[in-house]
Amino acid sequence: MLNRIALNLIALGFTLLVVFALCREANATVLVIDPGHGGEDGGAVSPYGDVESNINLEISIKLKCLMCLFGDAPVMIRDTDISIHDPKANTLREKKVSDLKNRVSLINSIEDAFLISIHQNTFTDSRYSGAHKFYNCDESRPFAELLQKRIRNHLDPTNTREAKKVPKGVYLMEHVNCPAVLAECGFLTNLRELEQLRSPSYQLKIAAIIASTYLTSY
């Protein structure tokens, strides 16, 4: 039963992708996919040792593959488990700062970019779960709101979160010049959601919803 639902969801996702890819205009923006963290900076860690950067990368690679399938050529900030810091950075802190600055430079060098930055959440209380989307400006707000709504409708009806303006202090989101959405895909500290986030089929569903939302928006 669950497998049939999953197959139907994936089939629906692919149908949406085909329809909207065919409807797109030629002057579409360039999708930049940023799998958060990488290399020595694994980001958040679940209570069972799952490293955020790996899940970010798995979802991002699936998103890239889906976009390529429909003739898009997204830019990936990283497609392996690396940090993109300068060689002269020594300490972990220096490497994290340098990595973020290099990500911003790369993103700001791309004309007509639209950034989606993939991350996972954690919280001290394991009851909390649910994907949450954040936008950096009015231009990316509709995409974040639509994505949040589609995640709720197609993946997690219990998720009552609303897309929000990114809080102060998120360096990457504050320094990029393009419209950007921070996609927190779920909580590593909630066991039910963690098990979903570990699963390649759930990662694919998240990627399919992001891809179809992008294709309908740009």
CB of 102 to Zn ion, least distance (A): 17
Rank residues 188 and 204 by Cβ distance to Zn ion and give the closer one: 188
CB of 50 to Zn ion, least distance (A): 13
Rank residues 117 and 212 by Cβ distance to Zn ion and give the closer one: 117
Q: What is the total count of residues that contact Zn ion (CB under 5 A)? A: 3
Rule CB under 5 A: say whether 35 interacts with Zn ion. no
Rank residues 95 and 119 by Cβ distance to Zn ion and give the closer one: 119
Rank residues 122 and 212 by Cβ distance to Zn ion and give the closer one: 122
Q: DSSP assignment of 148-198, as one string?
A: HHHHHHHT-TT-----EEPPTT-HHHHH-SS-EEEEEEEETTSHHHHHHHH
C-alpha angle 175-114-193 in degrees, rounded to nearest 5: 90
Record the tokens describing residue 203, joined without a space.
């990662």
Instruction: Report the residue from 36, 38, 74, 186 that binds Zn ion according to the rule CB under 5 A.
Output: 36
Round to whole Å and give the CA distance between 181 and 9.
24
CB of 89 to Zn ion, least distance (A): 19
Rank residues 13 and 130 by Cβ distance to Zn ion and give the closer one: 130
CB of 44 to Zn ion, least distance (A): 6
Spell out the residues 6+ positions from residue 150 whose beta carbon is closer than 8 angstroms to its own: 209, 212, 213
CB of 37 to Zn ion, least distance (A): 6
Contacts to Zn ion from residues 39-78, by CB under 5 A: 43
Say if CB 84 and CB 99 are below 8 A apart: yes
> From residue 97 to residue 136, what is the string marking binding to Zn ion with x (rule CB under 5 A)?
----------------------x-----------------
CB of 101 to Zn ion, least distance (A): 17
Rank residues 13 and 187 by Cβ distance to Zn ion and give the closer one: 187
Among 184, 191, 131, smallest CA distance to 156 is for 131
Say if CB 33 and CB 63 are below 8 A apart: yes
Q: Where do we find the tokens 């999708």?
A: 31
Among 204, 202, 215, 213, smallest CA distance to 65 is for 204
- Residues near Zn ion (CB under 5 A): 36, 43, 119
